[in-house]
Chains A and B, each alone.
Chain A
Amino acid sequence: MRALPGKTGRVADERFIVRFGRTDRIQHLVLFVCFLGLAATGLPLRFTEAGWAPWLARLFGGFALAGTVHRVLAIGLLVVFAVHLVRLVRRLAGGDWSILWGPNSMVPQPKDLQDLIGHVRWFLRKGPRPVFDRFTYWEKFDYWAVFWGMVIIGGSGLMLWFPQAFAYVLPGWMFNVALLIHGEEALLAIAFIVTIHFFNSHMRPSKFPMDLVMFTGVVEAGEYRRERPLEVARLEASGQLEQRLAPPPDPRFVHRARIVGAVAMVVGLTLFLMIVVAVLGVRLL
């Protein structure tokens, strides 16, 4: 334990700070379960020529049943998205404009660009590590990637699900575009999540093998102070830190979270390996 005598964080360092609320964590859980299921049921259609594709399609009971599973999970994802949007609107309606700008907003701001440049300089040993606030630029990228993916993949998916209804207003060639974009954007999303997101948030050396904050909702105060110094400083200055302090997570819950997280990462990496196999045209069976 790094003791910093004289600093106000002495007590806080031994405790935990709440980073994500219960609803956020449930949304993330539903999000990644649905996402991985959608990927597993969708990838056989994206890579039909791959040796694993018919096998995976049959694992889900054939293309018809796999399609049903895909649509059910899509509803789950759209519900998560809808809940998120409703919560944003309610915060705005309640007069909370902080989601639009400032440290509590996901909107990209000049500091994000400075942080990115500073971070890269730090990678190259040309400068100090940037001092991050509540949401970093890579977390914002993840957020908007999911946001964009929801609109693009969800929208094109609904078009393909209800082509007759959409064809009342859209010309037929839109479905050609929808099919292409649905597959390509989904492929981008899967590959991004299981490589970049997995690394940035879980597998990089200082987080390896995974960061459980999205399961437990809390970060050890000392760790948080180092990683998000600006937010901790702001909380201390405004006297809100005490409200954000929490007891350590239940070890049994942490254990379960670790199992769920590990399964999700194994599934995700397996799907990614299958994509690599398909793209390289490797025949395993």
Chain B
Amino acid sequence: MSLRLIGVAVPLALLLVAAPGRAQSSPTNDVCLTCHGEPDMKRSDGRPVTVDPKRFEHSVHSPLACVDCHADLAKTTDFPHPEKLAKVDCASCHDDQAKQLAASVHTRRPHGNGPPLSCVECHRQPHEILPASDPESATNKLKIEDTCGRCHGDGSAPDGFRGPAVARMFSDSIHGQALTRAGLVVAPTCSDCHTSHAVEEKTSTHSPVFAANVPATCGKCHAGIERDYHAGVHGAALAQGNTQAPQCATCHSAHAITRTESNAWQLGAVQECGTCHAEALATYRDTYHGKVTSLGFSPVAKCADCHRPHQIFKPTDPRSSVHAQNLQATCGACHTHVTPNFVKYQPHANPHNRTKLPALYYSSLFMNALMIGVFGFFGVHTTLWFLRERVGPDDESPPREDRPRG
């Protein structure tokens, strides 16, 4: 206890010497800490009111006087002061952030996920707030995932707060792994896409994660891809106001983003394209490419291998990788000796479409007729034969015991 007092008293004495200009009427921090520096200082209702002088000293607010925030004590000379004080208003300094928070989903609560958030829900202990550059800060790049994860994780959220549980998906994602495993601080964390204070639900048109805004949000880092995407048909559809048009997150997901080289992702992407392009997927499944991928093997052509993943154009557009004049180059990415005849193969042929590919239509018809004819005839023939040999008096063929079994 005596050591602790010395530890408090010495810096306070120094502070008093160093700050002689402060108005005599305002209580200085050392005056406050005389009581609040005591480790077991409690209110009458038992709630601790201790401020750890060391931690406060390291905090981002250490240059401030206690009464800068606890303003209603600025003129107090009579100690101990009343227990009931005015609520500290962070907005007195942090006006912009407070306004953003007030308009955000964390205050408006359109889905009723608990009471509005206050500053300390994220920034934690008000007397110990560290600069974001400090690795221990709740708002440090590498800590934000945990901070948001308190409510958006799988575990039990603090009283009454519960947001969509996405933290696990994020931490397993390529972005989360880059942050936590590779320690890559340029990788995005929650606030890079959702902002810090102005967090909005994805249905809010000015949210950075609103469908129409997603490409720009991802494009902050993936600028080259964003350019390719906007040039393509999906980007054009989105720009024209079709929020159902696929954007980054449609194919890559929002939080569970993985490397695109994996077998699972490659095969999943084919299914994803098929959710809109159902007939294209069905006809693709009729081809060797589509059958191999359906079996679970990916090293054959999938949607994006021919159509490109982001620079997708209509086949009639000369910029399209599947435009007639580009087909030899596109097929040639995998196949050698690609001739003009070779690329006349129809990778999306429908055997039921007579006008588009009559040869295939009639081949299919012929094969079906052959199948029905052969099995229709021999099915009857064989059944009758079986019945004749199996049942009834066998007057023509010899009795079975007559035939020694070899």
Contacts and interface: CB of A to CB of B under 8 A. Distances in A.
Contacts of B287: 179
B86 interface: no
Given A45-B295, A172-B344, A176-B360, A167 B339 contact: yes
Contact residues on B (Cβ < 8 Å of other chain), bracket: 35 or more
Nearest to B386: A204
Interface in A164-203: 164-165, 167-177, 179-181, 184-185, 187-188, 191-192, 195-196, 199-200
Which of B294, B295, B357, B363 has the most CB atoms of chain A within a 10 A radius of its CB?
Answer: B295
Interface stretch (B13-21, B31-39, B374-382): B374-382
Interface in A144-164: 160, 163-164
Given A49-B294, A164-B339, A249-B406, A226 B344 contact: no
B341 A170 contact: yes
Given A160-B288, A179-B287, A191-B375, A123 B344 contact: no
A168 B48 CA distance: 87
Interface in A222-239: 222-223, 226
Contacts of B329: none
A180 B364 contact: yes
A209 B343 CA distance: 51
B242 interface: no
A140 B403 CA distance: 25
Contacts of B382: 195-196, 199-200, 204
Contacts of A168: 339, 341
A177 B359 CA distance: 7
Which residue of A54, A57, A175 has the most chain B CB atoms within 10 A of its CB atom?
A175
B255 to A, nearest CB: 29
B344 A171 contact: yes
B338 A164 contact: yes
B403 to A, nearest CB: 6
A64 B258 CA distance: 26
A45 B381 CA distance: 31
B374 A180 contact: no
A44 B294 CA distance: 10
A200 B375 CA distance: 13
A124 interface: yes
A163 B378 contact: no
B367 A180 contact: yes
Contact of B392 (A125, A164, A176): A125
A204 B339 contact: no
Interface residues of A, number: 62
Nearest to A188: B371
B295 A57 contact: yes
Contact of B389 (A192, A205, A226): A205
Given A180-B351, A223-B403, A226-B397, A175 B345 contact: yes
Interface string A84-110: 000000000000000000000000000
B402 A44 contact: no
A64 to B, nearest CB: 8
Contacts of A191: 375
B115 to A, nearest CB: 48
A173 B346 contact: yes
B4 interface: no
A191 B344 CA distance: 33
B341 A120 contact: no
A176 B346 CA distance: 7
Contacts, number: 150
A173 B359 contact: yes
A168 to B, nearest CB: 6
A64 B398 CA distance: 52
Contacts of A188: 367, 370-371, 374
Contacts of B285: 48
A164 B336 contact: yes
A122 interface: yes
Given A192-B374, A206-B389, A122 B396 contact: yes
Contacts of A129: 396-397
Nearest to B337: A164
A49 B286 CA distance: 11
A48 B291 contact: yes
A254 interface: yes
Contacts of B384: 120, 123-124
Interface in B105-157: none
A204 B385 contact: yes
A200 to B, nearest CB: 7
Nearest to A48: B294
B331 to A, nearest CB: 10
Contacts of B406: 212, 216, 220, 248-249, 254
Interface string B328-354: 000000011111011111100101000
B340 to A, nearest CB: 9
B296 interface: yes
A192 B377 CA distance: 11
Interface in A18-53: 44-46, 48-49, 53
A254 B392 CA distance: 32
Given A188-B367, A223-B403, A173 B344 contact: yes
A250 to B, nearest CB: 11
A230 B259 CA distance: 73
A280 interface: no
Interface centre among A167, A188, A196, A226 (most CB of B within 10 A): A167
A9 to B, nearest CB: 13
Contacts of B367: 180-181, 184-185, 188
A181 B288 CA distance: 13
B292 interface: yes
Given A120-B381, A129-B397, A188-B371, A164 B349 contact: no
Report, nearest first, the 9 A-B pairs whose CB atoms are least far apart. Answer: A172-B344, A48-B294, A172-B345, A123-B384, A167-B342, A184-B367, A129-B396, A164-B337, A205-B389
11 contacts: A64-B297, A124-B388, A163-B342, A173-B344, A181-B363, A185-B367, A188-B367, A192-B375, A196-B382, A220-B403, A254-B406
Interface of B: 285-288, 291-292, 294-297, 299, 335-339, 341-346, 349, 351, 357, 359-360, 363-364, 367-368, 370-371, 374-375, 378, 381-382, 384-390, 392, 396-398, 400, 402-404, 406
